[in-house]
Homo-oligomer: A and B are copies of this chain.
Amino acid sequence: MPTLGIDLGGTSVRAAVVDAKGKLLSSAKVAVTDRKPPGVVETIAQAADEALKRAGVKVDGCGVGAAGQIHKDSGVISVAPNLGWRNVPLADLLQKRLGYGVKVVNDLSAAAWGELHAGAGRGSQDMLVVFVGSGVGSAIIADGRLVQGGGGVAGELGHIKVVPGGRLCGCGEHGCLEAYVGGHNLIAQTKELLASGRSRILESLVADSDPDSITPVTLEKAADAGDAEAKELHERASRFLAIAVANQVTMLNPSRLLLGGGVLTYCPGIRQRVLDGVQMWSSQTSREGLLVADAELGDDSGIIGAALLVA
Which residues of chain A have a CB within 8 Å of any CB of chain B?
69, 72, 79, 124-126, 138, 140, 142-143, 145, 147-157, 159-161, 164, 171-173, 175-176, 243, 246-248, 250-256, 280-281, 283-286, 288-290
Contacts and interface: CB of A to CB of B under 8 A. Distances in A.
Nearest to A291: B150
Contact of A252 (B147, B152, B171, B250): B147
Given A147-B252, A164-B280, A251-B251, A153 B286 contact: yes
Contact of A243 (B143, B161, B286): B161
Of residues A126, A147, A150, A175, which shows the largest number of chain B Cβ atoms within 10 Å of its Cβ?
A: A150
Contacts of A145: 142-143, 145
A285 B172 contact: no
A285 B70 CA distance: 11
Contacts of A69: 285
B289 A246 contact: no
A124 B149 CA distance: 11
Nearest to A283: B159
Given A250-B159, A253-B156, A164 B281 contact: yes
A288 B78 CA distance: 12
A149 B161 contact: no
Q: What 5 A-B pairs come out closest when comparing CB atoms?
A: A149-B253, A150-B255, A126-B150, A159-B283, A160-B247
B253 A151 contact: yes
B255 A171 contact: no
Contact of A154 (B153, B164, B253): B253
A252 B154 contact: yes
A259 to B, nearest CB: 17
Contacts of A286: 149, 151, 153-154, 156, 159
A161 B255 contact: no
Contact of A126 (B149, B254, B255): B149
Nearest to A68: B285
A150 B256 CA distance: 8
